A and B are shown apart, each in its own frame.
Chain A
Amino acid sequence: MAACSIEDVLAKAEKDEAEKLKSITVNKELDLEFDIGNLLALDKNSINLREFKQQNKEDFLRSLARDNAQLLINEIWKHPSERVEDVIVVKLPDPTTPLPREKPAPKPRPPTKWEQFAKLKGIQKKKKTNLVWDEERVAKNEFNRLRNVARAQKIKVPGIGLAPSAKQSKAELSRAVSVAKTSTASVGKFQDHLPKEKTPKNTGKKRTFQPVIGDFANEKQKQLDLLKVMDSKKPRLEITKAVNKQMREEDAEAASKRRRVPGQKGRKRNMPAKGKRSGPSGKGKGKASKGRGRNPRMKQGNR
């Protein structure tokens, strides 16, 4: 009994379900083609001519449209829906029907002159992470910024001598004093000295000459040395200078090779002659040698 009733109930439920579905099912010979992205459906079935002729045309078209719309709605309802601000929306897939574009695809921007040049030279953009934090640079930038601000507001810009800082050190102050002192028309030549003032260190060096009359023994020795060198047959060799010269020549050769234009603009070189030192040049010290316009920084030979 009980089993039978259950079967009955099941059968009835099935029937109900079928009836419910009946209202939304449509039978077609060929399935419709859908493009849900465009809310589009194509019914490829041929239209029943007899019904079309017999029925009222409007009614027939409406029933055809209803069936197709029902199928499209069924298809749309299969897609996942969600609730957005109290409205149920269905997410649509991308349209599948191929339609022509309105305008051709955008062309890529032509490279700028710099980009062309960079490509030709193989220059790549440097990463900024390669940069290193530099405290001194920051300080200088800040100083320059303040100077710019000051210049913009037409405030008198402080010079290099006394930078604006909270507390100047002794060295900074003395430097400022020396700068101030030398900032006259006669480069500070006629400035008075303060009672306990020290001469500033590390300023520009002045040439000093030996007295015209003075240490005769020393002078005599110097002259003798000079004559000795002149008299000797062997040329004197300054090792430091020779090494430097050699190195420079090697560098120049390498550079000219790199330029890959051999012999076009290269100077003719007489190697052995270059190595020789001729005569008295650079051997004396003091007045004689300096008078010839030599660079005073040039090293003198060791004796």
Chain B
Amino acid sequence: MARMDGVVKPKTKRSKRFLQNREAKLVENAKTAMILKGGNTSETVTHALKDVYALKKPNAVLYKKKNIMRPFEDPTSLEFFSKKSDCSLFLFGSHNKKRPNNLIFGRMFDSHVLDMFELGVDRFSSLKDIKSTKCAEGTKPMLLFAGELFHTDTEYTRLRSVLTDFFRGPTVSAVRLAGLEHVLHFTAQDGKIYMRSYRVKLKKSGCRTPRVELEEIGPAFDFVLRRTHLASDDLYKTAHRQPRGLKAKKKKNISHDTFGTKYGRLHMQKQNLDKLQTRKMKGLRKRKGGVKSGQTPPKKVINTQ
């Protein structure tokens, strides 16, 4: 690819297709996450990053080298990486004295940071620590959020949005019932956020809907919310703006009832009742010579004053 005045021009068909895939689209690709390490990381953070990568796998990029950066102070290098690997979600892990075992969850819009949440890891048990059968790679998880903070508090509400964005995986039109086997549960309680990951076992309940039993598979985190960076209302609104062609135009005068019956409203012109064909009778038939009417229609009385 030749770079000319900041515009990347593809030289081959293949690179053209590659660039086209990265362009802005009406229906977007599934968001990919990049998982990066800071200058210093503890063992906890390294394992945590690896585990999140395992959860996110087909839609994630794991950076294996250290990248010294401070996203809250200067997000430029992060934005550069985002552009380079075409990732709009990121997870940055670091460890220092002031903020031990630090994870930053965030997302980008147009390769600029939109939201960032700094979460300190209090307790962590990895996928390997918990001995159990794991879910298949790339399973779309069921996301559960519990705690009134996720509904009432602005920061927590935004954090819920970020976590949903981060873990939800690709948008699908249908899902295999047996494939619903992974649950990510987030609980906000007394200043901590508990993230747990479970495998679903569906038991027979006697009726159509099965009974659910859960088995923990890991990773399990106890997070503490540290610094946050929320997008300005303006930018947030811009990021949510949907293009015009995405929504199907609503058809007028068509409605459906609860049983799925289609109703349409028609607008008709007034029927001319004079020409209505009624029952044919001999007596009503028109005579050839024209009708000799004895009665004259009542005349209008005109008032002259």
Contact = CB atoms under 8 A, between A and B. Distances in A.
Q: Decide whether A and B are members of one complex.
A: yes
Interface of A: 20-21, 23-24, 37-47, 49, 52, 57-58, 61-62, 64-66, 68-70, 72-74, 76-77, 81, 84, 87-92, 95, 97-107
Contacts, number: 180
B209 to A, nearest CB: 4
Task: Give the interface SS of chain B, mostly helix, strand, loop or mixed.
Answer: mixed
A42 B164 CA distance: 11
B213 A66 contact: yes
A99 B206 contact: no
Question: Which of B144, B160, B213, B241 gathers most chain A CB within 10 Å?
Answer: B144
B24 A103 contact: yes
Contacts of B216: 58, 62
B164 A99 contact: yes
Contacts of B144: 40-43, 65, 68-69, 72
Contact of B147 (A47, A58, A62): A47
A22 to B, nearest CB: 9
A97 B180 contact: no
A106 B178 contact: no
B61 interface: no
Nearest to B109: A100
- Per CB-CB distance, the 5 closest pairs between chain A and chain B, nearest first, are A105-B243, A100-B239, A20-B206, A65-B185, A43-B146
A289 to B, nearest CB: 71
Interface stretch (B46-54, B68-76, B165-173, B284-292): B165-173
Contacts of A105: 24, 26, 241-244
13 contacts: A23-B205, A23-B211, A42-B145, A43-B145, A47-B146, A49-B190, A73-B200, A84-B174, A100-B240, A101-B240, A103-B28, A103-B110, A104-B24
Interface stretch (B6-14, B135-143, B275-283): B135-143
B134 interface: no
A102 B88 contact: yes
Contacts of B29: 102
A88 B110 contact: no
Contact of A95 (B171, B196, B240): B171
B107 A100 contact: yes
A268 B218 CA distance: 99
B161 A99 contact: yes
Contacts of A23: 205-206, 211
Interface string B225-241: 00000000000101111
B164 A44 contact: no
A96 to B, nearest CB: 11
Nearest to B236: A100
A105 B240 CA distance: 10
Given A61-B187, A65-B183, 10 more contacts: A24-B209, A42-B151, A46-B148, A52-B189, A61-B185, A65-B185, A72-B144, A73-B210, A92-B172, A104-B109
B212 interface: yes
B198 A69 contact: yes
B147 A72 contact: no
Given A42-B160, A62-B198, A88-B176, A101 B147 contact: no
A65 B24 contact: no
Given A40-B143, A64-B146, A69-B198, A106 B212 contact: no
Question: Which of A52, A90, A105 gathers most chain B CB within 10 Å?
Answer: A105
B146 A99 contact: no
Interface string B83-126: 00000100000000000000000011110001000000000000
Nearest to A36: B175
A38 B185 contact: no
A97 B208 CA distance: 28
B150 interface: yes
Interface in B13-71: 23-26, 28-29, 31
Contacts of B194: 57, 61
Contact of B110 (A52, A70, A104): A104
A84 B173 CA distance: 13
